[in-house]
A and B are shown apart, each in its own frame.
Chain A
């Protein structure tokens, strides 16, 4: 079995041994030699759930509601097909030039990207004030395309359309990563930002 399939099997096993009900996420870490290890389970919907939704075509929040309602669960594992590639960028009101410190304030203007396979999950609008008391995430930009290369191209286009006026955000930082040779050639790992960035 490929590493991905082994990880999936381990995830199913982990959920089964605790008789898990409703949505949850199992996190693994994969080392250079492709061995993998359980890190933790998040017993809730994941911040990145749109990525799963885009590649499976399953509305996970709707599924959560239907499961809670006690409706018969009619999604068969064998019928779930991963289609294409999806990327999510978390858009944060923060200043990459200063250790990503939060940069709250009034959103003076907003231009939201669009197009086929482009999705923005957000709660902000022009005239909304990002408050300093809470998480600095202002939204999530998600794209879906046939291949990883096309998904990257789509995200680059979407990010170049996006304008959040009045705030410092990590938009340009996402663009730099998406254009970086290491990212394009999949030479990224969990310490990449600290050790190999720039």
Chain B
């Protein structure tokens, strides 16, 4: 790898640029027009504006990012976290245009990134999973029925989610519709994917990330 395009902003973009430069790899930053003065733009060897401030026009715009890949002749893309990092379509497009996507293959992202498929995969492998629904919540009405069985409070999460977005703890049935729709909307906005599922989360538990 000679040149890596960093498809992100903020501290993670800076973190990745530093690691690349320490290995003697050139870096390409991408930025929205309001991010012109950002540190990641200053620290990268090259920088390309990929659109306006709205996420869908810049940091989530696969076409614009791939144009920057082509123009810069980068041979790999690091997606960072959030944005397109867990988007299998983007990983697949990178593979198709012959640049290395720094992460797992598109098919693995699809499998694990889709939180409901991941649950099913883990159940099949014998890894204990949080009690929840074993698939997507098709509608608020369906969701309410499952929630009643699970017992409140319930945790609803975006299938494409991460970083706490598209996630809500719902305390009681009367609040279900409101919080479910809000979380779904948030997921739609942040990931372009509004599919939701239940994830357990009991009183008095710890969260452990490995």
| A133 in contact with B54 (CB, 8 Å) | yes
Which of B9, B206, B210 is A29 in contact with, Cβ under 8 Å?
Answer: B206
Interface size on A, residues (CB 8 A): 64
Contacting residues of chain B (91-110) with chain A, CB-CB under 8 angstroms: 100, 102-105, 108-109
Residues of chain A within 8 A (CB-CB) of B71 are none
| A27 in contact with B204 (CB, 8 Å) | no
Which of A27, A37, A65 is B23 in contact with, Cβ under 8 Å?
Answer: A65
| B12 in contact with A68 (CB, 8 Å) | no
Task: Kindly supply a per-residue 1/0 record for chain A positions 53-67, scoring 1 wherever the CB is within 8 Å of any chain B CB and 0 otherwise.
Answer: 000000101101110
| A42 in contact with B162 (CB, 8 Å) | yes
Residues of chain B within 8 A (CB-CB) of A129 are 37
CB distance from B199 to the nearest CB of A (A): 6
Please, how many angstroms separate the alpha-carbon atoms of A134 and B52 in the complex? 12
| B102 in contact with A28 (CB, 8 Å) | no
| B22 in contact with A62 (CB, 8 Å) | yes
CB distance from A170 to the nearest CB of B (A): 14
A101 within 8 A of partner (CB): no
Please, how many angstroms separate the alpha-carbon atoms of A8 and B10 in the complex? 31
CB distance from A153 to the nearest CB of B (A): 23
A146 within 8 A of partner (CB): no
CB distance from B108 to the nearest CB of A (A): 5
Residues of chain A within 8 A (CB-CB) of B162 are 42, 44
In this complex, the member of B55, B81, B124, B169 whose beta carbon has the largest number of chain A beta carbons within 10 angstroms is: B81
| B4 in contact with A65 (CB, 8 Å) | yes
Residues of chain A within 8 A (CB-CB) of B206 are 29-30, 188-190
| Chain B interface residue number, banded | 35 or more
A77 within 8 A of partner (CB): no
| B128 in contact with A36 (CB, 8 Å) | yes
Residues of chain A within 8 A (CB-CB) of B208 are 7, 27-30, 36
| B11 in contact with A14 (CB, 8 Å) | no
**Given A41-B112, A46-B209, A123-B38, are A29 and B130 also a contact pair (CB < 8 Å)?**
yes
Task: Kindly supply a per-residue 1/0 record for chain A positions 11-52, scoring 1 wherever the CB is within 8 Å of any chain B CB and 0 otherwise.
Answer: 101100111111111111111100111111111111110000
| B125 in contact with A14 (CB, 8 Å) | yes
Please, how many angstroms separate the alpha-carbon atoms of A92 and B10 in the complex? 12
Residues of chain A within 8 A (CB-CB) of B15 are 61, 121
| Chief secondary structure at chain B's binding surface | mixed
Please, how many angstroms separate the alpha-carbon atoms of A97 and B200 in the complex? 29
Contacting residues of chain B (1-22) with chain A, CB-CB under 8 angstroms: 1, 4, 9-16, 19-20, 22
CB distance from A40 to the nearest CB of B (A): 5
Stretch of B113-121, B139-147, B177-185 that contacts chain A: B113-121
**Given A43-B112, A140-B11, are A27 and B85 also a contact pair (CB < 8 Å)?**
no
Residues of chain B within 8 A (CB-CB) of A23 are 103
**Given A46-B81, A135-B82, are A65 and B205 also a contact pair (CB < 8 Å)?**
no
Task: Kindly supply a per-residue 1/0 record for chain A positions 163-175, scoring 1 wherever the CB is within 8 Å of any chain B CB and 0 otherwise.
Answer: 0000000000000
A128's nearest neighbour on chain B, judged by CB, is B37
CB distance from A91 to the nearest CB of B (A): 10
**Given A39-B199, A121-B11, are A22 and B34 also a contact pair (CB < 8 Å)?**
no
24 contacts between A and B (CB under 8 A): A8-B210, A14-B122, A17-B122, A24-B104, A25-B209, A26-B210, A27-B209, A27-B210, A30-B205, A30-B207, A31-B204, A37-B129, A40-B115, A42-B162, A43-B85, A43-B103, A43-B108, A44-B81, A61-B15, A65-B4, A65-B78, A134-B10, A135-B82, A188-B206
The 3 closest A-B CB pairs, nearest first, are A61-B19, A44-B85, A37-B130
Chain A interface (Cβ < 8 Å from any Cβ of B): 7-8, 10-11, 13-14, 17-32, 35-48, 59, 61-62, 64-66, 68-69, 121-125, 128-129, 131, 133-135, 137, 139-140, 188-191, 194-195
